[in-house]
């Protein structure tokens, strides 16, 4: 019964947010285009034959960066920016009265955006294959499912981290600058700009303990068929989610106690 009710809520939220997101098709298309940095990086790598030193062929590297692009497309999180705006405008107050954690609303928003984004990402991939026909491949079904799962887990990790940062809005008005700071290590260490295998030893020795390589590098390696440790990757992702979730709950409970309504 409770589960059923919960299900209905999620479904309604998703439906509302999806129709909302469809309104902003052009915006989302532009968002998708702005994610093409991995392709520029690929160009630097292959144009200077940098991949020879890390023993990845041109084809495998281009698949890697294409997958990195895909994983990034479906793990983009902006909850802190929405939440900051809502809390500054005083929109959080009505949400708090509802018998549903407002973060479910944002969660549904993100999922709906990903569904809207999917066709645009496919179009970009299509163009990528026109320019690089030799890198076309079809991953087998098991790998495909596993990489969808790991991309979703990566999205969950980022969503939890950003929700924790968003909760800081209860204490300071501008939590988004903290998020911008946290984004820098994510950008450089997650494997979006360079695969983690290419990192120097002194970074590789500790990076696998942090959540960063599991955000993009691991799912992208999995999907593109590059060498990766599947069981370690998935278990690390799950461990990080289990570590972050109680932290989020705690900060949420503390934060709502601190909440002072702003705006109207």
Contacting residues toward another protein, per CB under 8 A: 24, 26-27, 30-31, 33-37, 40, 43-44, 46-50, 52-53, 172-174, 177-178, 180-181, 184-185, 187-188, 193-194, 198-200, 203
Nearer to another protein, 207 or 241 (CB): 207
SS3 track for the chain:
CHHHHHHHHHHHHHHHHHHHHHHCHHHHHHHHHCCCHHHHHHHHHHHCCHHHHHCCCHHHHHHHHHHHHHHHHCCCCCHHHHHHHHHHHCCHHHHHHCCCCHHHHHHHHHHHHHHHHHHHHHHHHHHHHHHCHHHCCCCCHHHHHHHHHHHHHHHHHHHHHHHHHHHHHHCCCCCHHHHHHHHHHHHHHCCCCCCHHHCCHHHHHHHCCCCHHHCCHHHHHHHHCCCCCHHHHHHHHHHHHHHHHHHHHHHHHHHHHHCCCCCC
Q: Shortest gap between Cβ of 69 and another protein (angstroms)? A: 12
Nearer to another protein, 102 or 191 (CB): 191
Q: Shortest gap between Cβ of 113 and another protein (angstroms)? A: 12
Q: Shortest gap between Cβ of 102 and another protein (angstroms)? A: 24
* Structure token pair of residue 144: 């495909």
Q: Shortest gap between Cβ of 78 and another protein (angstroms)? A: 11
Nearer to another protein, 115 or 178 (CB): 178
Residue 133 and residue 141: Cα distance in Å, rounded? 22
Q: Shortest gap between Cβ of 172 and another protein (angstroms)? A: 7
Nearer to another protein, 50 or 247 (CB): 50
Nearer to another protein, 212 or 214 (CB): 212
Q: Shortest gap between Cβ of 34 and another protein (angstroms)? A: 4
Nearer to another protein, 15 or 204 (CB): 204
């Amino acid at each position: 019964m409770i589960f059923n009710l919960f299900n209905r809520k999620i479904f309604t939220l998703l439906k509302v947010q999806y129709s909302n997101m469809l309104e902003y098709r052009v915006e989302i298309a532009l968002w998708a285009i702005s994610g093409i940095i991995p392709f520029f990086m690929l160009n630097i790598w292959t144009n200077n034959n940098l991949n020879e030193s890390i023993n990845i062929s041109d084809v495998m590297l281009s698949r890697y960066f294409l997958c990195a692009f895909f994983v990034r497309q479906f793990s983009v999180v902006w909850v802190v920016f929405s939440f900051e705006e809502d809390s500054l405008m005083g929109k959080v107050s009505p949400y708090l009265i509802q018998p549903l954690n407002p973060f479910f609303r944002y969660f549904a928003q993100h999922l709906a955006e990903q569904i809207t984004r999917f066709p645009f990402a496919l179009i970009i991939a299509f163009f990528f294959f026109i320019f690089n026909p030799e890198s076309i491949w079809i991953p087998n079904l098991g790998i495909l499912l596993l990489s969808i799962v790991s991309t979703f887990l990566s999205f969950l990790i980022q969503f939890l981290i950003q929700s924790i940062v968003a909760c800081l809005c209860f204490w300071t008005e501008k939590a988004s600058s903290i998020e911008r700071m946290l984004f820098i290590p994510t950008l450089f260490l997650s494997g979006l700009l360079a695969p983690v295998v290419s990192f120097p030893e002194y970074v590789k020795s500790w990076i696998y303990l942090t959540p960063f390589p599991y955000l993009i590098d691991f799912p992208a390696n999995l999907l593109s068929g590059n060498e990766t440790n599947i069981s370690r990757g998935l278990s690390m992702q799950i461990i990080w989610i289990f570590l972050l979730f109680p932290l989020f709950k705690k900060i949420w409970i503390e934060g709502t106690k601190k909440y002072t309504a702003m705006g109207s």
